[in-house]
Amino acid sequence: MSAPNIEAVKEYLLGLQDAICDALEQADGGGKFIEDAWQREAGGGGRTRVLNNGSIIEKGGVNFSHVFGDKLPGSATAHRPELAGRSFQAMGVSLVIHPHNPYIPTSHANVRFFIAEKEGEEPVWWFGGGFDLTPYYGNDEDCKFWHETAKEACDPFGEDIYPRFKEWCDEYFYLKHRDEPRGVGGLFFDDLNELGFEKSFALMQSIGNAYTKAYLPIIEKNKDKEYGERQRDFQLHRRGRYVEFNLVFDRGTLFGLQSGGRTESILMSLPPEVRWGYDWKPEDGTEEAVLYERYLKPRNWLEV
């Protein structure tokens, strides 16, 4: 198995952050990302980029981080006890885009690399990541296009990759306490090393590069749809589910907080406005009810 090329991964991730920010600024047509470079006292750092109050994007964050240290946090060793006592490096690009218009879904993407080393032993490394879509008002064409683009990114690496990563995404982005998915899924993978370094790295790159191909046409298609207070209220209600998932279940959030990461960068994924109403439920026969009845259910979106 070929040895990991850490510098090549870092170079790719920095370039990916640049490319995604440039593409999102062009799609927005008004907003600009501001950059906040930071250092981690325990080792490493990153650059956080945030776009606030753009023409289309209400809040978008695209973060690069590269952190390292002598000891892993509990969130990393809980299911991998063999990592205890190893030094580590973790690097990745993570992003969340919250548009103004409720007819444009929120989107999330993340690609990352992790390596743990100990003198005299082989390094333990893997890739992870994916992207997923969280609509407020479902659209079959958008869901199908999103998943078709995801499948195209996976197909060169084996016909089993997309269905496996798609199912993994459905299972991962699930709010157990609500008994509902976060959205309509996409791709999720972790602990990927069985393909060897070069092929695993290539698959991670293919997925990272596919995010803007999947999302930008959905922005363009829906950006001019009219909406009112009702749609905005529903969007803020559903954003509450997004917050719940990120703070309760998300591995990246837990790893970042437990490893002494930069809190502002870790929590950049949270929306600028959100609402919780006690035991709120949509009325039967409404657009809002359709989200629960049709879209918040795992399905084969390639065949809708």
Confirm whether 30 is domain-assigned.
Answer: yes
Q: Is the pLDDT of residue 92 over 80?
A: yes
The reported pLDDT for the residue numbered 20 is 98
100 is in an annotated binding site: no
Is residue 264 pLDDT above 90, yes or no? no
Mean pLDDT calculated for residue range 162-179: 97
- Answer yes or no: is 63 a known binding residue: no
| 98 labeled part of a ligand binding site | yes
Residue 199: pLDDT over 90:
yes
79 is in an annotated binding site: no
**Torsion sign across C-alpha atoms 303, 23, 157, 191:** negative
Per the model's pLDDT, the better-predicted residue between 122 and 226 turns out to be 226
Among 66, 100, 108, 237, the active-site one is: 108
Q: Does the annotation count 108 as an active-site position?
A: yes
Would 196 be classed as within a structural domain?
yes
Annotate 198-220 with b (16+ C-beta within 10 A) or e (fewer). Answer: ebbbebbbbbbebbbebbeebbe
Question: Does a structural domain hold residue 1?
Answer: no
Query: Containing domain of residue 115, as a range?
Result: 6-295
Residue 131 lies in a domain: yes
**Residue 304 domain-assigned?**
no
181 bridge partner residues:
174
3-state secondary structure (DSSP) of residue 304? coil
Let me know if residue 11 belongs to a domain: yes
Q: Is 303 within a domain?
A: no
Q: Please indicate whether residue 75 or residue 67 has the higher confidence score (pLDDT).
A: 67
137-152 exposure pattern, b = at least 16 Cβ within 10 A, e = fewer: bbbeebbbbbbebbbe
What's the CATH number where 264 sits? 3.40.1500.10
Q: Is the pLDDT of residue 279 over 60?
A: yes
- What is the reported pLDDT for 291? 98
Q: Using CA atoms, how far apart are residues 304 and 289, in angstroms rounded to an integer?
A: 19
Quickly state the pLDDT bin for 194 (edges 50, 70, 90).
very high
Confidence at residue 74, expressed as pLDDT on a 0 to 100 scale: 67
Q: In this structure, is residue 32 part of a structural domain?
A: yes
Using a pLDDT cut of 70, give the percent of the chain over it: 97
- For 82-86, 148-152, 273-277, which range has the lowest pLDDT when averaged over its residues? 82-86
Model pLDDT, residue 41? 85
Helix axes 140-154, 161-172, angle to 10 degrees: 130
Count of the separate structural domains present in the chain: 1
Residue type, 21: C
Q: In this predicted structure, what is the pLDDT of residue 85? A: 81
Would you say 111 is a known binding-site residue?
Answer: yes
Mean of the per-residue pLDDT values of the chain: 94
